[in-house]
């Protein structure tokens, strides 16, 4: 029987860093006895500060997923693709994403979210993201204790 799930929402304003094109965020520390979770990405939305002509970008996270295969010849083992997002200004929302396991979530841990280009190259500030003003996003996750 599956344990009771809950919704966990993360937004870019929660970042602990002030510089760079990445978002360092403290994840976990839910105040219950569960350490490991199955995570389903439910929704991702971003404001219109992305360069449009490329078609899509990839949103990934470092040091969160403990299973899954995410472009293994191109990404480091600690990187997981969370979702892809269209850069067309009329569709800056993704309604699905990856499913993976995150371990050791009883205590807060620092993870890094970031956008990468469609070819998995790093984005450039004021060129790929943060055009005109900061790129803001909201990520909705379904957290199921395992």
Domain ranges of the chain: 6-145
The CA distances from residue 136 to 66, 105, 132, 143, in Å, are 26, 25, 12, 22
CATH fold of 6-145: Jelly Rolls (2.60.120)
Percent of the chain with pLDDT over 70: 94
Rg of the chain, C-alpha, whole Å: 15
Chain segment 95-137, per-residue pLDDT in tens: 788 899 999 999 899 999 999 998 899 999 999 999 989 999 9
């Amino acid at each position: 029987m599956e344990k009771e799930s809950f919704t966990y929402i993360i937004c870019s304003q929660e970042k602990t860093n002030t510089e760079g094109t990445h978002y360092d965020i403290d994840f976990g520390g839910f105040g219950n006895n569960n350490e490991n979770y199955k995570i389903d990405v439910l929704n991702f939305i971003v404001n219109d500060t992305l360069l449009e002509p490329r078609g899509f970008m990839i949103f990934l996270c470092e040091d969160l997923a403990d299973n899954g295969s995410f472009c293994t010849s191109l990404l480091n083992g600690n990187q997981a693709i969370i979702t892809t997002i269209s850069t067309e200004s009329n569709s800056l929302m993704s309604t699905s994403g990856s499913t993976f396991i995150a371990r050791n979530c009883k205590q807060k841990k620092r993870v890094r979210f970031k956008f990468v280009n469609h070819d998995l190259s790093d984005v450039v500030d004021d060129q790929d993201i943060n055009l005109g003003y900061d790129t803001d996003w909201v990520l909705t996750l379904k957290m199921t204790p395992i």
